[in-house]
């Protein structure tokens, strides 16, 4: 595969203000497009934030936001990925959408692991399946925030062929060190590139970590944004990935029968 120019957008999400969040995202998408970026990742619930009591109403904005993002993806000739509140029947999910270069939806992933300490399970239904999306940038595995703490899900995505793991999050500053450590661990143990898009800013007393990162399969930081709003880019060299897998053949030397309980 040819090297891939990838980007991560970090937003200070304004809770409940879809218009303001979309305006900021649009500006960053256009800026990255002008730089030739082919894959762009937005944070978890970037268009609405978490406004639990208002989630049902805010989910109604998602189809319109998706239409706008689809137009931007087609114009930029880029893949755009981010998560939104999605209502299906009477249930609401935290759903990641992958919009391809033609502006069409090529995959969705509903967050499997809901963060019980903040009562996510009270407001959202959990997804039931892991997702690896086949894109023009190669196979991409999708994760949303708390999913990052479950290595078995990440390994499954790698076994299903993912060479890039996308992590969309609203990760708090109080556990910022966990964010970076887990991104590096998932990259190293699965020998994949990892794009971690976190939000920054503050909701009441809750401060978010920012610190969005692009990691190499070696766990090296290719790009980092810190605590400010903005974007980062890096070139993903898949020859590096293949060489790492040949040098240390973890996947070939797995012994699954020894891992059973």
145 included as an active-site residue? yes
Tokens at residue 18, please?
């879809």
Tokens at residue 138, please?
């190669």
Nearest 5°: the CA angle 39, 43, 62 is 95
Are the C-beta atoms of 112 and 127 separated by less than 8 Å?
A: yes
Q: What is the DSSP string of 168-218?
A: EE--BGGGHHHHHHHHHHHHHHHT-EEEEEE-BSEETTEEB----EEE-TT
106 included as an active-site residue? no
CA pair distance 3, 1, nearest whole angstrom: 7
Are the C-beta atoms of 183 and 148 separated by less than 8 Å?
A: yes
Could you say which of 133, 145, 154, 200 is catalytic? 145
30 included as an active-site residue? no
Q: What is the DSSP string of 60-124?
A: TTHHHHHHHHHHHHHHHT-EEEEEEEEEETTEEEEEEEEE-TTS-EEEEEE--S--GGGTHHHH-
Q: What is the DSSP string of 15-56?
A: TT-HHHHHHHHHHHHHHHHHTT-SEEE--TTTTT---GGGHH
Could you say which of 24, 86, 101, 111 is catalytic? 111
CA pair distance 61, 18, nearest whole angstrom: 8
For the annotated catalytic residues, the residue numbers are 44, 111, 145
């Amino acid at each position: 595969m040819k090297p891939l120019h990838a980007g991560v957008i970090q937003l200070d999400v304004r809770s409940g203000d879809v218009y303001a969040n979309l305006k900021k995202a649009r500006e960053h998408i256009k800026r990255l497009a002008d730089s030739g970026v082919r894959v762009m990742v937005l944070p978890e619930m970037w268009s609405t934030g978490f406004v639990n009591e208002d989630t049902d109403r805010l989910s109604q904005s998602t189809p319109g936001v998706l239409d706008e993002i689809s137009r931007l993806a087609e114009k930029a000739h880029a893949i755009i990925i981010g998560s939104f509140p999605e209502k299906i029947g009477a249930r609401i999910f935290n759903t990641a959408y992958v919009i391809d270069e033609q502006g069409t939806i090529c995959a969705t992933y509903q967050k499997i692991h809901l963060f019980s300490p903040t009562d996510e399970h009270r407001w959202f239904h959990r997804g039931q399946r892991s997702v690896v999306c086949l894109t023009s940038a190669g196979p991409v595995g999708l994760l949303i925030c708390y999913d990052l703490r479950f290595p078995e899900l990440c390994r499954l995505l790698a076994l299903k062929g993912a060479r890039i793991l996308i992590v969309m999050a609203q990760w708090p500053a109080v556990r910022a060190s966990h964010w970076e450590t887990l991104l590096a661990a998932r990259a190293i143990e699965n020998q994949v590139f990892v794009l971690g898009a976190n939000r920054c800013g503050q909701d009441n007393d809750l401060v978010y970590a920012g610190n969005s990162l692009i990691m190499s399969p070696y766990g090296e930081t290719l790009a980092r944004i810190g605590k400010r709003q903005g974007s980062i880019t890096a070139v993903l060299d898949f020859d590096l990935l293949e060489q790492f897998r040949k040098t240390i053949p973890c996947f070939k030397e797995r012994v699954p029968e020894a891992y059973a309980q």
